Amino acid sequence: MRDDASIVHVDLDAFFASVEQRDKPSLRGRPVIVGGTGLRGVVSTASYEARAFGARSAMSTAEARAICPAATAFLSPRFEAYRASSLAVMAVLRELSPLVEQVSIDEAYVDLRGADLDVSSTAHVREVLETLRRDVADATGGLSVSAGAASSKMLAKIGSDLNKPAGITVVEQ
């Protein structure tokens, strides 16, 4: 474990559903489920509007249909759109630091010690994360990320989960 909050976990918020809402304005503000749409389908991602009704990842699509209102959009995945957005996000992260470990299509760790930044101040790390959040939104047409910074990967991951969506947490020592 380090003695500063120089490890950042970045997580795109409700990624697949957010891409769909970005690309299809009629879906904005509506519950959106992305995943298998058949009888044996499974939810890959639920928008925050769908989560308000209890929908979540790994739930059966049948169960999500039962608990979500009739206006919910159930969509098959568009992996090329998600891949393009992921590539844009990872490029932003690599501009910040050359030390990026992508762990999934919508998550990565960034080592701020690889950047020419002062990470001794919590306030400065928070500013870096705020700028990162704006840069990701600019590069992706408005997608949001949550980010956590800490002295270890585990704490950074916990930090990124604390203030979703679009939240920032710096875990101090």
127 catalytically annotated: no
CB < 8 Å & 24+ apart, contacts of 46-54: 46/14, 46/17, 47/14, 47/17, 47/18, 47/20, 47/21, 48/13, 48/14, 48/165, 50/17, 51/14
Annotated catalytic residue: which of 49, 107, 127, 172? 107
Identify the helix (H) or strand (E) that includes residue 154: helix 153-162
The catalytic site residues sit at 107
